[in-house]
């Protein structure tokens, strides 16, 4: 399901996000870092698996990629010579500039492409090969939905340190719901704005509930 490049990217991303989160907790305990690392790794994995299954449903293939920014302005010539690795740099920069008070959890995006052919019986009476924006939006929304479901499941299971796992899932969903650049939220927003509004509302409710509980 995951190729070698994707696995390495998920591990590296998990390490960086766990490190920045451990800074915000002001903890030097290795156990805390390892817990954050495992939690983030699981969160990214379930998000990615959900999107891969959704992509398979639409007879397409999804590949995880690092979030990169190629432009720094609105004019066509305002481009970096090399893509800026925002997914790796932004979490570190935000945590450093805020002296550990803020964090960022959006690091990965995805590309999706249709397979050689897409079966007509699943999607209508005719064959088509191009992925539409609403299909891509549904794939992205699947990952967000799974993270929110994992948060609810973690809350009701009431396992040790479950609330940390709950809040991490919700905050991961929140950051990825932002409709900017190539993040999942942008794909959902342009694919189906009603779906984006619904998912954004659920995520905000989760954020508020988490803050009140914590």
Provide the whole-model pTM: 0.89
User: What would the pLDDT profile of 52-66 be if each residue is shown by its tens digit?
Assistant: 999 998 888 999 999
Q: How many CB atoms lie within 10 A of CB 28?
A: 9
| pLDDT tens-digit readout, 85-123 | 999 999 999 999 998 889 999 999 999 988 765 544 455
* Inter-residue contact 109 to 184 (CB < 8 Å): yes
How many beta carbons lie within 10 A of that of residue 163, not counting itself? 16
Find out whether 18 and 102 touch, Cβ atoms under 8 Å: no
Distance of CA 99 to the CA centre of its chain: 24
Q: What is the CA radius of gyration of the chain?
A: 18
pLDDT tens per residue, range 119-139: 444 555 444 556 789 999 999
User: Does 150 or 209 have the greater pLDDT score?
Assistant: 150
- Concatenating the DSSP letter of every residue in 189-211 gives HHH-HHHHHHHHHHHHHHHHHHH
Domain limits, the chain: 4-112+123-213
């Amino acid at each position: 399901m995951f190729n070698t490049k994707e696995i390495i990217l998920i591990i590296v991303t998990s390490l960086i996000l766990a490190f920045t989160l451990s800074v915000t907790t002001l903890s030097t305990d290795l156990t805390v870092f390892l817990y954050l690392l495992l939690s983030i790794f699981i969160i990214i994995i379930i998000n990615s698996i959900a999107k891969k299954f959704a992509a398979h449903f639409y007879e397409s293939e999804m590949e995880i990629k690092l979030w990169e920014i190629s432009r720094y302005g609105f004019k066509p010539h305002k481009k970096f010579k090399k893509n800026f690795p925002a997914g790796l740099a932004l979490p570190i920069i935000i945590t450093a500039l805020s002296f550990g008070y803020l964090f960022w959890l959006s690091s990965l995006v995805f590309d999706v492409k249709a397979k050689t052919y897409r079966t007509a019986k699943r999607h209508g009476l005719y064959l088509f090969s191009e992925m539409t924006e609403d299909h891509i939006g549904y794939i992205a929304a699947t990952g967000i939905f799974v993270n929110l479901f994992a948060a609810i499941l973690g809350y009701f299971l009431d396992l040790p340190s479950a609330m940390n796992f709950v809040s991490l899932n919700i905050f991961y969903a929140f950051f990825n719901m932002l409709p900017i650049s190539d993040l999942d939220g942008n794909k959902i927003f342009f694919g189906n704005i009603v779906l984006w509004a619904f998912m954004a509302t659920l995520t905000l409710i989760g954020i508020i509930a988490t803050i009140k509980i914590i």
